[in-house]
Structure 1
Amino acid sequence: MPTLPAQPRAARPLAAVNEEIRALLEAGGLVLPEGRRRYEELLVEWAAAVRGDVAEAA
């Protein structure tokens, strides 16, 4: 059975997710498999925030 993607962490403001994505890219984080995996996790979190699936943290 396929594994499900990790659930996004607690809701964070979209700006915070964007900042982490930018920092990962600027640091060359996509070179290593761990960085690519983290990038995919961040994209899932970002998409959920954009769709409104999660409420922004107060």
Structure 2
Amino acid sequence: MSPDSVTRGSVRSADDLNRAIRALWLGPGGHPAVPLDDERRAEYARLCAELQAVERGDVTTAA
């Protein structure tokens, strides 16, 4: 997913995004859910792109 596809104006912090990414990899009982299905893989890519934008400072918080 390209960084340009990340929605500007996100209010999620890097910590929130990291928690969401880790949660995708955990299955029932907190065990790793490997491999990810197509839906979870797409969500992972979207979250990683959003996190990269936050880390670069490309995302601003709405007033």
TM-score range, shorter chain: 0.7 to 0.9
Unaligned 5+ runs, structure 2: 28-32
Question: How large is the RMSD of aligned CA atoms in angstroms?
Answer: 2.7
More contact order relative to length (CA 8 Å, sep ≥ 6): 2
> Which residue number corresponds to residue 23 of structure 1?
23
CA 1:41–1:29: 2 relative to 1, 3 Å: farther
Confirm or deny: 8 A CA contact 1:8 1:44 kept in the other structure.
Answer: no
- Cα shift at 1:25: 1.0
CA 1:26–1:43: 2 relative to 1, 3 Å: same
CA 1:30–1:8: 2 relative to 1, 3 Å: farther
- Aligned length in residues: 55
Cα distance between partner residues in 1 of 2:6 and 2:34:
21
Cα distance between partner residues in 1 of 2:38 and 2:46:
12
Unaligned 5+ runs, structure 1: none
Q: Report percent identity of matched pairs.
A: 35
Cα distance between partner residues in 2 of 1:57 and 1:16:
17
Q: Highest CA radius of gyration, 1 or 2? A: 2
